[in-house]
Structure formats: structure tokens, C-alpha cells
């Protein structure tokens, strides 16, 4: 059987699960929220990475029902967490172009009882490459309900900076390649610094992704970034482990 045929049944068979990685507030040194990262528990192949099946889901259109499941499950999970803790969900361009997308998001919020202010949608700049009018209108409509929009993997695509003028992002997630190279490449560090300053000047929060070492954490702090995510703090963890991570968070 092909991965594609199996994937078509994965949602109905309950084979998808969400893992969560903390988004850490560097000023208060505590968890602000979690990014939902989907995994597929395949009966023969084991735990399949989204890097392997999200592209297949996008090519086949399965990303639309799969993405709806992710949104619903992430909102349900987050509704059990303390009020101040948000959840971030990755959204593919194809989902956003679907005319039912806003309804799917609002439906997931309503069904779970999660306040819109606790949901962040992560989009990549490729979302804004084509079909801009429809996708932008949907993003504006959703943002008016109180949820927040983050630009994911910032700095890896084209024309990133012009997009910051076309849509009022709430957060820029700086791609992990910058911090990976920051200790050895003054250029990578300078670009990371410039993005943080740019975000701060525009009133947009910045988060550096992919912090793996104390040295990288120190660099990110020194450059004035207030939020981070990475294996140093925690890899993505199964939902059952999240409550324990949150113990002590008011
Ligand atoms: O967790 P991991 O590093 O394996 O994720 C690999 C890629 O899969 C990342 O780029 C991540 O954004 C993407 N991804 C994970 N979960 C989802 C999801 O629910 N929807 C979409 N569209 N992408 C996801
Ligand atoms: O593309 P996106 O940023 O949504 O994907 C997040 C992915 O990055 C997840 O699949 C997660 O497993 C991965 N990731 C998170 N933290 C780190 C890290 O510190 N190092 C590396 N190499 N990958 C990370
Ligand atoms: Mn992401
Ligand atoms: Na990213």
C-alpha cells in the first residue's frame, strides 16, 4: 500500500497525534505556549515525521481534512491548559486558500471553548506568494476575532520584508538556520539582530527557533529577542506530558 492511500484513512483511524513544543518567554523564563506538531502513528511504519507526510498531504489535498483535525485537536488540548497558555498551529497555504478555512478555525474554537486570543496560526511566507487577495482577506477576518498570526521560518523564502507591510503579523519566528550559524558567522548573527530590531520597531514580537545550546541562548538574549523555542528547553512532547510541564505555571 502507498503512503498516500494510508494517509487518506489516517484521520478516520485515529492514527494522528499531536506533540507539543514549548514557546518560552525569555524575560520571565517561563512557558508562554506550545506549538502543535503532528505525528502519524502508522501501524507498520511506526511514528512517521510530518516532514515525510505533510508534503504528500499537500500534493493530494488531504491537508485540508488533516489540517482541520489538527486545529480541532489542538484547540481541545489547549482548552485544558491554564488560561495564559496559548497554542500555535501550522497552516499550509492550501488550507488557507480553501474557502471554508475561516469556518473551520472558528468552529474549532467554538467546539473547544478555547478563547480566540489563545490561538496562534503559523503561516510561511509562501502563503502570501500567490492568491494573495483571498488568503489575506481570510487572515484579516480571522485576526479580527482575536487570534494571532505568526510568520514561520522567517528569512528562508523570498521578499520576506515586503510581506511585513502587506499583513499585520503578530509574531515573526526567525528560522533556526540563523541561530545555528550565529556563533560562527557574524553575518548570520547580524541578520538575526536586524530582524529582531525590525520586528521591535514594527511592534511585532520575535521568536528565535531552534535553540539547542546555552551559547545560542545567550546570543539570542543579548540580541534582545524575548521568545525562543528549541531542543535546549524541550523537544516536542506527547500531549500527556504537557500537564506536568505546566505544573507551577499559574
Ligand atoms: O516536528 P517536525 O520537525 O518533525 O516537523 C517537520 C515539519 O512539519 C515542520 O516544518 C512543521 O512546520 C511541519 N508540521 C508539523 N505539524 C504540522 C501541521 O499540523 N500542519 C502543517 N501544515 N505542517 C506541520
Ligand atoms: O517549520 P516549523 O518551524 O513549523 O517546524 C518546527 C520543527 O522544528 C519541528 O519539527 C521541530 O521538531 C523542529 N525543531 C524544534 N526545535 C528544534 C531545535 O532546537 N533544533 C532542530 N534542529 N529542530 C528543532
Ligand atoms: Mn512552525
Ligand atoms: Na519554523
Q: How confident is the model at residue 157 (pLDDT cuts 50, 70, 90)?
A: confident
Task: Please determine, for residue 126, whether its predicted confidence score (pLDDT) is greater than 90.
Answer: no
Shortest-distance Cα residue to atom 20 of ligand 2:
210
Q: Long-range CB contacts (< 8 A, 24+ apart) of 135-139? A: 135/93, 135/96, 135/97, 136/166, 136/167, 138/96, 138/101, 138/102, 139/96, 139/167
Ligand 2 within 6 A of CB of 90: yes
pLDDT of residue 226: 95
Q: Which residues line ligand 1 (CB under 6 A)?
A: 37-38, 49-51, 54, 67, 70, 90, 92, 236
Helix, strand, or coil (residue 45):
coil
pLDDT of residue 131: 66
Distance 157 CA to ligand 4 centre (A): 12
Ligand 2 within 6 A of CB of 231: yes
Q: pLDDT for 15-40, tens place per residue?
A: 999 999 999 999 999 999 999 999 99
Task: Please determine, for residue 57, whether its predicted confidence score (pLDDT) is greater than 70.
Answer: yes
Contact (Cβ atoms closer than 8 angstroms) between residue 214 and residue 236: no
As to burial, measured by CB atoms within 10 angstroms (0-12 exposed, 13-18 middle, 19+ buried), residue 124 is: buried
ipTM, 2 dp: 0.96
Helix, strand, or coil (residue 219):
helix
pLDDT of residue 135: 87
**Residues measured by CB to lie within 5 Å of ligand 3, the ion:** 90, 122, 152
pLDDT of residue 120: 98
Task: Please determine, for residue 158, whether its predicted confidence score (pLDDT) is greater than 80.
Answer: no
Task: Tell me what percent of the residues of the chain surpass a pLDDT of 70.
Answer: 96
Q: How far is CA 154 from CA 130, 138, 159, 177, 195, in A?
A: 17, 21, 10, 10, 9
Distance 234 CA to ligand 2 centre (A): 11
Q: pLDDT for 220-230, tens place per residue?
A: 999 999 999 99
Task: Please determine, for residue 159, whether its predicted confidence score (pLDDT) is greater than 90.
Answer: no
* Minimum-distance ligand 1 atom for the alpha carbon of 58: 22
Amino acid at each position: 500500500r502507498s503512503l498516500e492511500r494510508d494517509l487518506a484513512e489516517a484521520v478516520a483511524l485515529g492514527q494522528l497525534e499531536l506533540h507539543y513544543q514549548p514557546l518560552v518567554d525569555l524575560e520571565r523564563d517561563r512557558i508562554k505556549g506550545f506549538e502543535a506538531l503532528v505525528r502519524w502513528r502508522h501501524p507498520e511504519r511506526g511514528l512517521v515525521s510530518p516532514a515525510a507526510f505533510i508534503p504528500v498531504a499537500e500534493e493530494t489535498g488531504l491537508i485540508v481534512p488533516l489540517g482541520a483535525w489538527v486545529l480541532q485537536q489542538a484547540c481541545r488540548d489547549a482548552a485544558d491548559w491554564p488560561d495564559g497558555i496559548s497554542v500555535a498551529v501550522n497552516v499550509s497555504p492550501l488550507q488557507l486558500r480553501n474557502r471554508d478555512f475561516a469556518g473551520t478555525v472558528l468552529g474549532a474554537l467554538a467546539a473547544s471553548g478555547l478563547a480566540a486570543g489563545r490561538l496562534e496560526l503559523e503561516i510561511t511566507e509562501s502563503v502570501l506568494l500567490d492568491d494573495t487577495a483571498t488568503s489575506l482577506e481570510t487572515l484579516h477576518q480571522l485576526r479580527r476575532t482575536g487570534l494571532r498570526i505568526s510568520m514561520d521560518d522567517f528569512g528562508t523564502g523570498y521578499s520576506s520584508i515586503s510581506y511585513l507591510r502587506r499583513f499585520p503579523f503578530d509574531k515573526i519566528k526567525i528560522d533556526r538556520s540563523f541561530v545555528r550559524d550565529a556563533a560562527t558567522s557574524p553575518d548570520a548573527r547580524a541578520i538575526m539582530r536586524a530582524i529582531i530590531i525590525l520586528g521591535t520597531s514594527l511592534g511585532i514580537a520575535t521568536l528565535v527557533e531552534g535553540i539547542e545550546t546555552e551559547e545560542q541562548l545567550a546570543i539570542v538574549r543579548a540580541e534582545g529577542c524575548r521568545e525562543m523555542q528549541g531542543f535546549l528547553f524541550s523537544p516536542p512532547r506527547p500531549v500527556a506530558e504537557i500537564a506536568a510541564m505546566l505544573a507551577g505555571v499559574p
